[in-house]
Amino acid sequence: MSDQMQKIVLASRPDGAPTAENFRLESSALPIPGAGEVLVKVHYMSLDPYMRGRMDDAKSYAAPVPIGGCMEAGGVGEVVASNSPHFQVGDFAFGMFGWASHGCLPAKELRKLDPKQGPITAALGVLGMPGFTGWHGLSAYGRPQAGETLVVAAATGPVGSMVGQLAKQAGLRVVGIAGGAEKCKLAVDTFGFDACLDHRAYVDAKSLRKDLKEACPKGIDIYFENVAGKVLEAVLPLMNPHGRIPICGMISWYNAGGLGEGASDTALTGPNIWRNILVKFLSVNGFIISNHFDRYPEFLKEVAPLVAKGEIRFLEDTAEGLENAPAAFMAMLTGGNTGKQIVKLV
């Protein structure tokens, strides 16, 4: 085993959309596990939209990545050295190893994986943080009831596809919004959505709203918010009284800091948003999934058997090589991925 590891660090903070210059590939000495620690060779790492927020030096629910610090990420890999009785060499584990070829963490911060139960990459997506996010947000804040209508954007991503499939199983009409005709076809044919609209086919929120209204003839009871911007502007006037909006993400605003491409300058001003919430008695809940991991065992108990039986389907988009992680990440932020974006290191 080499005594060196590779990692990608934050070279500079982005101004708007990240560029290749914001990242730097470095080599460093392989860490030596201390008491109770485990060294893991990472096979796959996750790329997720929340990482964009970590690149900014702004007050948020988590500290930013420092300049020169390793980019944050969850990963899965093989134990190559262990000072813990809970992990043996050859075991597989999930942990927050970062954008790196290896990670060394206390055993208590790792989760053991069984490759015989399915692909270890599932721990990064459908049975990991994204799938759990969709399950928790829908069950805790969406409160779905049979016969209702749910709309979710980023419909073929790991969060949106989980939300849509669970809602269909609960007896709801499910309408997705995705970027491109191919993704819309996947939402319907692979994930079982009733309909899916291509947001790229609409010049503005007004035109999107017109077709969305036709796809949701009874209005919208639940809008699972992943993107904001033009989609939120189209959805909000169509919400039914006592509708629910779990706020999971706002990817269209992450780079530009504005309303998102195609949105107007006025429809999402504070007074209009608050008026819709008031007169329609809407429940709007923001949540950060790291605050709710006490429910993770409940999620696994309910959803893992559905995944094993093929009743919950998932897609993965795999980039090859740690050095290609920045390009895959930047593409993901503009919808360039299909399914859960991961990076294969081994």
Tell me which CATH code domain 4-125+314-344 carries.
3.90.180.10
Rounded average pLDDT over 139-151:
98
Higher-confidence residue of 284 and 255: namely 284
Is residue 232 scored above 50 in pLDDT?
yes
CATH topology of domain 129-289: Rossmann fold (3.40.50)
Mean confidence (pLDDT) of the chain: 92
Q: What would the two tokens of residue 135 be?
A: 């399950």
Give the global pTM: 0.89
pLDDT of residue 320: 98
Is residue 262 scored above 70 in pLDDT?
no
Is residue 276 scored above 90 in pLDDT?
no
- Domain limits of the chain? 4-125+314-344, 129-289
Is residue 346 scored above 90 in pLDDT?
no
